[in-house]
Chains A and B, each alone.
Chain A
Amino acid sequence: MNGLFVSRSIADNFVNIGRKTPAMNMTTQSDTLNAFETLVRTHTPVLLRVARRFMHSEEDARDALQDAYVSAFRSIDSFAANAQLSTWLHRIVINACLMKLRTQRRHPEEDIEKYLPRFLEDGHQAEPSVAWSESAETALQRTELCGLVRSCIAQLPDTYRIVLLLRDIEELSTDEVAQMLGVTPNAVKIRLHRGRQALRTLLDPHMRNVS
């Protein structure tokens, strides 16, 4: 954030939200500042959770969130009156995270092949799959397993992890993800499938041996 030049006061820009959101009914600059602070306090808990999901460290999540707020209020004019403010902010946070991840992408990225199923020459699975002994619904009632799933997702190479987050957790469409990442819808489908397969491999030893 240091050295970032903001052409107009963000709070000034926020007046525009007040105009577009009649419920805010702001009359004075003090009202505007108070409403702005209320907005930040209201939306930040959920938005911080989104940023934490994407970023690898707490510091990066907070930086991405700050970038997102600055970016949001600089482009407040593009906020459509009929849009949900929370949805609009949510999308901007995701974009800020993606931008930050792009700048810090690890080279070379870990190979996902080692997490994918292997096959014999005749096309059969090299190691037959075993049914899991617990459903996701039951397993997720255990706090430590929720943490385990999150840490397994964090282990995935970013190329696949990001698509899995956007499709399976953020529930964006294939086309939306393709547009966000600048890749083809088919590439999104392939990355999603591989990401899910890799996550399944990482969870498998924990899920087939639940006592």
Chain B
Amino acid sequence: MTDRPYLPCTEIIGFLADYLDGELPPDRRSEFDRHLAVCPSCVAYLESYKETIRMAKGSELPVEEVPEELIKAILAATR
């Protein structure tokens, strides 16, 4: 048992990217894990943050056929 204070949520959310990238020193990382073990709100934030990154990556426009006038304009501009 320990009675040392938990890191505040503001600290967890502020350094979430470093936490996910594995860039925190081990002792700090374990403090993050200790906070996450007791804070469902930060866990929800962390999970939705990860989903946000996946959604950004996965929201690509489809590759579409290029209008012929654009091809002609490019060829004209470059010849």
Contact = CB atoms under 8 A, between A and B. Distances in A.
Interface of A: 1, 4, 6, 9-11, 33, 36-37, 40-41, 44-46, 48-49, 52-53, 62, 65-66, 69-70, 73, 117, 119, 122-125, 128-132, 135-137, 139-140, 146, 149-150, 153, 164, 168-169, 189, 192-193, 196-197, 199-200, 203-204, 207
Sort chain B's interface into a size bin: 35 or more
A40 B71 CA distance: 7
A149 B74 contact: no
Nearest to A132: B48
B9 A125 contact: yes
Interface of A is mostly: helix
6 tightest A-B CB contacts, nearest first:
A123-B8, A136-B54, A10-B78, A149-B59, A128-B41, A129-B44
7 contacts: A45-B66, A62-B73, A122-B8, A125-B13, A131-B47, A132-B48, A207-B48
Nearest to A189: B17
A132 B47 CA distance: 8
Interface in B44-79: 44-45, 47-49, 51-66, 70-71, 73-75, 77-79
